[in-house]
Chain A
Amino acid sequence: MCATDQGVRRTDLPTCKKQNQHDCQMLSVTNKTNHFRHIFDTEIMPLTDKLYTFAYHLTGSEDDANDLLQETLTKAWRFIDRYEQGTNPKAWLFTIAKNIFINEYRRRAKGPGQVALQDFVAYQEKEETPLTGSLDLRQEMYQYLIGDEVTQAVNSLPAAFRTVILLCDVEEFSYEEIAGILGIPIGTVRSRLHRARNLLKEQLRSYATHMGYEDKRG
């Protein structure tokens, strides 16, 4: 085995190919450490701000995002030997973050993250309801909203929905990558995204209406 467990569930982590583990075994301890530090510094650390943004929108608070970021990076380092060079480091890191969020934060009874997590779990089970969508193209009042309101609208979505919006529309992962990160079928990614975007549009329209903006185009 390439890594000791240290109390972290291996199922939480993406797997890497055996070749990488073989390579690990061929290096001396010092070279290995330097090799892994190099990977960590060049491929993982540059993603810190993106990971922090993802963590912030997942947890809904800066403090929890800080904790999640640190836990994710710590776990990434602990299992850096399982990281396969040439794969998408952002997908690898985000998968770890999502798993920690689900496994660790579900045990914490604090803040909106707890409620969101319940949403996350609940929505896993009712994906296959018929698609509905909003086609009202006239209502774009939300264009007047500022960043804080948009962030608030996104963060108010159930975690299952805001996660796919973040992964697809902000981080530009493919459906296949999102399916891998979230551990759901591609078809579920597709239907969840469709609902998430419609929900967000409704939320933004509701915010805009509440703030007194009107659709001037009639």
Chain B
Amino acid sequence: MKQAYDEQDMLLKINLLLDNELEENLAAEVRDLIAATPLLSEMYQHELRFRGFVRSRLAQMKMPPSRIQAIRDEILNSPLPHPSSPED
């Protein structure tokens, strides 16, 4: 039986849906189609899991507070150029 949708197009739309980048009426249509189609539902879950996986496992860098403070102090102790500074 012929599918009523194009897989590549649906993958794109599912990603747009997950990114909150679809117009509300189109988002509703896509959600309905996903709910009614097991393969699309699986595709949707797959994309959702993939995002969660990357987000949770990608290295998040943390700088020691003392280092942040040192950078901040060094920067804020430099002269601030703005409109009424003598150079203007």
Contact = CB atoms under 8 A, between A and B. Distances in A.
Contacts of A55: 61
B29 interface: no
For chain A, the bracket of interface size reads: 35 or more
B61 A40 contact: no
Given A3-B81, A174-B19, 20 more contacts: A24-B83, A33-B80, A40-B76, A45-B68, A48-B71, A52-B63, A53-B59, A53-B60, A70-B71, A78-B80, A81-B83, A131-B12, A135-B7, A145-B57, A146-B57, A151-B59, A154-B54, A175-B21, A193-B19, A201-B50
Interface string B76-88: 1010111111011
A36 B82 contact: yes
B11 to A, nearest CB: 5
Interface string B53-75: 11101111111000010011001
A37 interface: yes
B37 to A, nearest CB: 13
Contact of A49 (B12, B58, B62, B82): B62
B76 to A, nearest CB: 6
A142 interface: yes
A134 to B, nearest CB: 9
A118 interface: no
Contacts of B12: 131, 133, 190, 194
A154 B50 CA distance: 13
Interface of B: 7-8, 11-12, 15-16, 19-21, 42-43, 46, 49-51, 53-55, 57-63, 68, 71-72, 75-76, 78, 80-85, 87-88
Interface in A33-56: 33, 36-37, 40-41, 45, 48-49, 52-53, 55-56
A109 interface: no
A145 B50 CA distance: 12
18 contacts: A24-B82, A40-B72, A52-B61, A53-B59, A55-B61, A73-B75, A74-B75, A80-B82, A81-B83, A132-B8, A133-B8, A140-B49, A150-B53, A150-B54, A170-B58, A174-B19, A200-B54, A201-B50
B59 to A, nearest CB: 4
A53 to B, nearest CB: 4
B31 to A, nearest CB: 19
A209 interface: no
Interface string A175-194: 10000000000000010011
Task: Tell me what chain A mostly uses at the interface: helix, strand, loop, or mixed.
Answer: helix
A150 B49 CA distance: 14
B11 A135 contact: yes
Nearest to B59: A151
A103 interface: no
A177 to B, nearest CB: 11
A85 interface: no
